[in-house]
Each structure stands twice: as C-alpha cells, then as structure tokens.
Amino acid sequence: MWQYFMPTKIFFSQKVVEKNKEVFKNFGKMALIVTGKTSSRLNGSLDDIENVLKSLSIEFYTYDKIEENPTFEQIRQAVKELESYSFDFVVGVGGGSPLDSAKAIAVLLKNRSLPVEDLYDASKYNSSLPIIAVPTTSGTGSEVTQYSVLTDDTGFKRGFAHDLIFPTVALIDPLYTMSMSVSLTRSTGLDALCHAVEGFLSKRATLISDLYALESMRLIKQNLPRALENQNDFEARAAMSFASCLAGMVISQTSTTLAHVLGYPLSTFKGIRHGDATAAFLDVVVQKAQSEVPQKVDKIREIFGDIRKFIEVAGLEIKLQMTDEELEKWTKRVLTAKHMQWTRGTFDEFSIRKLYERMRAN
C-alpha cells in the first residue's frame, strides 16, 4: 500500500519568474513578499519578482527582515507589522528561512487571532493565504514541502506540518543559487543529501519517494563536489537545485528522521548551519538502518561508498565546546521528538548522548 500527495505546481528553468509571470495573475491584487535581509537583492530574485508584479499592476509589500533559523518572536513581530494590510497571497523568496517564515505568516495573517504556538495544532486552523515559493538556495526543498521549521521560545527548533502550507506554486531558477559561497553551497547541499538519505531509510518511505531519493542521491554525488570546486559551474548548480527539489518531495512523504533532530540544537545554540549540523550525524542513520533494511543501505553504499567520507571530503568537520547541562537537555529533547518513530534502529539516552560527545571539543 502506498499513497502520494504533493500538490505544488513546479516550474523549473532559467529566468523562471519572467517566463511564467502569468502565474501571478491568478493570485490576486496585493502580494506580500517575505524575504531575508540582503541576498535576494544581490542574486536578482527579488528584483525579478518585484518587476513582474509591477508589470502586472499587482501591488506588493516587501518584508525583508527574516533571519536564519527564524524564531517565534520574529514571526510575531512580522505579523504585527503586517496585519493592517489586506494581502491576497504570499511570495516567499530566499533560502529555507524566508520560505518557512512565509508559510507561517501566510497562515497567521489568514487566522488573525491564532497564536504562533497553535500553528503546531493542525485542528486549530483550516485556511491560509496561498503561497508562491522562490528558493535561492538548493537544500531545504521547502518549496515543495508542507513543513515550516521555527525556533520556539526556549530556543529549540520545531517543525509544523500542514497540507495548507504546501506552496501552490514553486518557481525554481538555479541562476539564483550561483551567488552562494562555498560554505553555503556545502551546507545546503548536505541538507538535501540528508533529506534524500533519511527519507530513503525512513519507516515512512514509499515506492515513489524511494525513486526520488535515489535519483537525488546520484545527482548530489556527481554535482555537489563539482559545485564546490567551481562556483560558476551552472550545470552542477542546476543539478543541485533539481536534487534538492526531489529530496524535498521525498521528505514531504517520509518526514526527516534522527539526523535532523540531533542537528537542531547545534544550529540554534551553537550557530552551526542547518545542513552541516544535520550531516554530522548522517553516517549513524545509515549504520543503524543496516540490520533492518540491508538492501537499502547497500544501495546507498553503491552510490557513495562510505557516506562519512563523502561528507568529510565536502569539507565538514564539527568540533564544539558543550557543557554537561547542554548535552543532557539536547539528549532529552531528541528522545521525545516525533522523528524517532520513523528512524530505523533503537536509541536510548546513552547512545544519543554519545553521538553528541563524538563532536565534543572540551
């Protein structure tokens, strides 16, 4: 038995926004653009969208204060600033942080009295402003997922899921990713890799998600090293945008698993980029799946050989100072996370703690 649902209409090409500008016409007369502080101005994505909206006489307001790992408080601030306007739709432009924020804001502007915490209770709302997603990184796949990951008031990352926040349209232009630095290319590429591998090994994997996952892994194996070696390699960049989108479609079916939840505190408490923080644990996800799905693990080995080596070659090495209190807090959090039920293998407090200790520098 399997099912498949991923309702986002995807457009993928160079100059995708200009070429498909009629798409915006169906969404209404007033747009909210949600983006980060600088990069979308520099890589041309924001200008492209604003120009297209102007040419269609669609009014817009650009909210450009989204930071990395967006917090509940930042979303509250945004809603406060935006609630006096009457928007017909939301355009998220940027990496996963602006896209995830756009999703949360789209729901909250439609449900004015809903507190941000209640985004996590799907029964509390049944409407959202429609969302158009324009990714400028190639990692999160947020343009094709029903997830938004926010940092709660205690500093932990938590994702909420709702079919309403699948973007209606994703406009993917790999040209926008050409300006990514080597380190951003690595961390976002590794995030996509984690989505493909965790999704492939997830207990919720399906026949379709496996097809996407395997193709995504093959593309990443061939193209992430190329994109890291030569930032101007457009073919490699385009392949990474495609791989990231495929991997997003994978997790839309399977969710993410152990590596993601282990990585979350490293981003919010230690400032390690999401993809790097997650990939640091990916070898364990593969290792632990060996006894339950050996054929799948073989397939991963066929593609990458030793996945830990592939990740190290990409340049990832994390060593961190951490206190015993931090270790205890993070470990407890991981053990209660819903990701664990879809992760292969068994884990207890001791084994989770050991995974963090692996990267301890003190």
Interaction partner, residue 92 (ligand NAP, Fe ion, none; CB < 5-8 Å by kind): none
Q: How far apart are CA 324 and CA 328, in angstroms?
A: 6
Interaction partner, residue 148 (Fe ion, ligand NAP, none; CB < 5-8 Å by kind): ligand NAP
Q: Which residue has the tokens 């017909």?
A: 88
Question: Least CB distance from residue 262 to Fe ion, whole Å?
Answer: 12
Q: Which is nearer to ligand NAP, 160 or 347 (CB)?
A: 160
**Of all helices (H) and strands (E), which one includes residue 262?**
helix 258-270
Interacting residues with ligand NAP between 57 and 76 (CB under 6 A): 68-69
Interaction partner, residue 176 (Fe ion, ligand NAP, none; CB < 5-8 Å by kind): ligand NAP
Q: How far apart are CA 155 and CA 151, in angstroms?
A: 6
The dihedral formed by the CA atoms of 186, 188, 193 and 196, expressed in degrees to the nearest 10: -170
Contact criterion met (CB below 8 Å) for 285 and 304 = no
Q: Which is nearer to ligand NAP, 21 or 159 (CB)?
A: 159
**14 is a contact residue toward ligand NAP (CB under 6 A):** no
Contact stretch for ligand NAP (CB under 6 A) within 54-62, 121-129, 140-148, 234-242? 140-148
**129 is a contact residue toward ligand NAP (CB under 6 A):** no
The phi-psi region of residue 172 (left if phi > 0; otherwise alpha if psi is between -120 and 50; otherwise beta) is: beta
Q: Tell which residue, 97, 199, 82, has the closest CA to residue 142.
A: 97
Q: Amino acid identity of 134?
A: V
**39 is a contact residue toward ligand NAP (CB under 6 A):** yes
Contact stretch for ligand NAP (CB under 6 A) within 53-61, 92-100, 334-342, 354-362? 92-100
**143 is a contact residue toward Fe ion (CB under 5 A):** no
**186 is a contact residue toward ligand NAP (CB under 6 A):** no
Q: Which is nearer to ligand NAP, 96 or 199 (CB)?
A: 96
Q: Which is nearer to ligand NAP, 95 or 265 (CB)?
A: 95
Q: Token digits for 245?
A: 């989108």
Contact criterion met (CB below 8 Å) for 292 and 345 = yes
Interacting residues with ligand NAP between 248 and 277 (CB under 6 A): 274-275
Question: Least CB distance from residue 289 to Fe ion, whole Å?
Answer: 18
**191 is a contact residue toward Fe ion (CB under 5 A):** yes
Dihedral sign for Cα atoms in the order 92, 98, 103, 107 = negative
The phi-psi region of residue 230 (left if phi > 0; otherwise alpha if psi is between -120 and 50; otherwise beta) is: beta
215: CB partners within 8 A, 6+ apart: 243, 246
Q: Which residue in the shown chain puts its C-beta closest to Fe ion?
A: 191
Dihedral sign for Cα atoms in the order 131, 247, 352, 307 = negative
Q: How far apart are CA 290 and CA 218, in angstroms?
A: 20
Q: Which is nearer to ligand NAP, 259 or 286 (CB)?
A: 259
Residues that bind ligand NAP (CB under 6 A): 36-39, 43, 68-69, 94-98, 100, 136-137, 139-142, 145, 147-149, 157, 176-177, 179-180, 184, 188, 191, 274-275
